[in-house]
Structure 1
Amino acid sequence: MAKDWRYSCYPFMREKSCLVDYEIRTDSLTTRIGDAIAILEESEKNAEVIAILRQIQPLAYHVNGSVRGRVAITTEDLAWLDGIYDEFVERAGETIQQFVLPQGHSGATALHICRSEAKKSYRALHKVSEEREVQEILFQFLGLLANVFFVLAVEVNTIHGVEEIPFKSKSYGKIEG
């Protein structure tokens, strides 16, 4: 009797390897990018950010398959993402010289969720690297991607006139009072 695929949400789900967790995590990242696009499409002001996210989303699926399969993230992809980061860091200026609360416009908060998903994906990739060899470009890509989502979130808040709220940690740095 042939296997009925309707009962399988992912063919590798029962593997013991951390690789499955990484693949599920990066699938979640890719889905969250799609959600951010949908939220941002509510305003024409977000067209530039949406265009960037539409290029990032397939790359997130490429980083997903780049461990089990052939590495599909290229130095060109990384250079493109570097350029995006540099552009939006320059635009943000002083704003990103501090920690800020992940808040504001709904599109910005969706991008902060993407940032968090990219960090979780990076951590899951680290766990995979304890089991098998992982190409450094994948770590570079995911780390940079998290930072790109941050600067894009700041950009969306700026576009919509939402001020960032600085976060002052009570756990780190000088305690005043």
Structure 2
Amino acid sequence: MKIYTRGGDKGKTSILGARLNKTDTRIEAIGAVDELNSTIGQAIYRAQQEDLTNISSELMVVSNQLFDYGADLANVKETIPYKITAAHTEELEQRIDMHTESLEPLAYFILPGGCATACALHLCRTEARKAERRVNDIETAIPAELQVYMNRLSDYFFTLARLANKQTGVVDVAYVGEKHFHS
């Protein structure tokens, strides 16, 4: 099977039930989810390098869910059920709560940084926010479950970044207020 179809050579692409311009808001959202999933791949690699197998295992689950999420965004047929449901968001919330219990309470704002895995997870967090904005730009209705799931992902990545720092013995990078360069 060839990887190229030539079907998109004129600026259009096919999804389940429609053919759209590649600049359509739905295609932009699908692309943003794909970008997010690529950053998750980087975070998985970093977690494996730092021997954070619990984090890399969880990220593999989320990566697979995001693949399904992209398929859901590509589904404009009302006869095909969506794969991502409220249960997926509930699982994310349970993970966030479980991990948060093992962390020190937040006492200050945290900047992106720390161990390599935490840095990668902060990038995932920002990509999740970007994907969420693109999903919310879609002009046709999408199930609320998809919006809620994407909104929760950034909180999940933030929590995992803090967990990665804790498990590697690295202190979260604190925001310390107004700073200036000194000569």
Q: Quickly name the TM-score band, shorter chain normalised.
A: 0.7 to 0.9
2:109 and 2:150 map into 1 onto residues whose CA distance is: 20
Q: Which AA in structure 2 matches 1:124? A: R
Q: Which AA in structure 2 matches 1:60? A: L
Greater share of helix:
1
1:108 and 1:16 map into 2 onto residues whose CA distance is: 33
1:5 Cα deviation from its structure 2 partner: 2.1
User: What is the aligned partner in structure 2 of residue 173 from structure 1?
Assistant: none
Find 2:37's aligned residue among 22, 30, 34: 30
User: What is the aligned partner in structure 2 of residue 163 from structure 1?
Assistant: 171
1:64 and 1:169 map into 2 onto residues whose CA distance is: 39
Name the TM-score, length of structure 1 as normaliser. 0.83
Which deviates more, 81-90 or 70-79?
Answer: 70-79
1:26 Cα deviation from its structure 2 partner: 0.2
1:113 Cα deviation from its structure 2 partner: 0.5
**Residues 168 and 7 (structure 1), Cα distance of their counterparts in 2 relative to 1, 3 Å cut:** farther
Partner SS for 1:41: helix
Partner SS for 1:93: coil
Q: Which AA in structure 2 matches 1:5? A: T
Partner SS for 1:92: coil
1:6 Cα deviation from its structure 2 partner: 6.0
User: What is the aligned partner in structure 2 of residue 11 from structure 1?
Assistant: 13
Give the share of equivalent positions with the same residue, in percent.
Answer: 23
Alignment of 1:8-157 (within 5 A): 8=8, 11-12=13-14, 14-44=21-51, 46-69=52-75, 70-94=81-105, 96-128=106-138, 131-157=139-165
1:123 Cα deviation from its structure 2 partner: 0.3
1:64 Cα deviation from its structure 2 partner: 1.5
RMSD of equivalent CA atoms: 2.1
**Residues 169 and 125 (structure 1), Cα distance of their counterparts in 2 relative to 1, 3 Å cut:** farther
1:15 Cα deviation from its structure 2 partner: 3.5
Gaps (5+ residues) in structure 2? 15-19, 76-80, 179-183
Q: Deviations over 1:8-54 (max 9, x none)?
A: 5993583442011101000001111111101111132x011111101
Gaps (5+ residues) in structure 1? 171-177
Greater share of strand:
2
1:165 Cα deviation from its structure 2 partner: 2.2
1:67 Cα deviation from its structure 2 partner: 2.5
